Amino acid sequence: MGAHTLCISLDPFHAEYVPVKFPLYLADICRRANFGYFLWQERFLPALSGIDSNKTHNRAELEKLISSDYVIKTAQNYRLHMGGRAINIEEEYSVRKSVDLIVDSRPCRRLLSSDHFHVDLNSKFIPPGCTGIAIPLEEIVRGIPDGKYPVFEALLSGGVSELLRYSLTLGFVESPKGYTSGCALCFHISVNPQNLYVYEQ
């Protein structure tokens, strides 16, 4: 396919879902096949060396095996954009604000960013830092049909402010507790089934 290097994720967050032995095994295969690779991020190897690499570990186990504050330290080491599952980290360590203080009408340009996007096994484009939005890669490249993805279009044209306006017409109810950021609001709109279904399929 023309690829020459693999980025292999390796960190405490992934260790909750993938046994550490698998990324290390993939790195070994690349090395033996003389195929380029790098561990993202290799700096976590010492911390992960003390856990059982044959199985996944939940947060409580990792707090005992690595450190009680491994979540925030790992996030800081990554300099994470608080999107996707990292919204949970942001909500644990940040202050909630009312919706009027966090909505932004600037277009969400990250949706079409090519600096760190993902493509899943079904050839769907996943914007950097976003969950709940997955659009066929071919449509991203060749053009998205107008009206096909209303959530995507709302974010692209008017940011979280426009998404909120659209979602309110569908019955979305704001949390009285507020949200930690515009991304957190977007995440809750997109993945909260009791409010509405706005997943891009």
Low-confidence ranges of the chain (pLDDT < 70): 79-85, 131, 191-201
- For the packed helices 70-78 and 86-93, what is the interaxial angle rounded to 10 degrees? 110
CB atoms inside a 10 Å sphere around CB 161? 19
The pTM is what? Answer: 0.72
| Residue 192 confidence (pLDDT) | 59
| Residue 80 confidence (pLDDT) | 62
| Residue 77 confidence (pLDDT) | 82
| Residue 3 confidence (pLDDT) | 86
Domain ranges of the chain: 5-79, 99-191
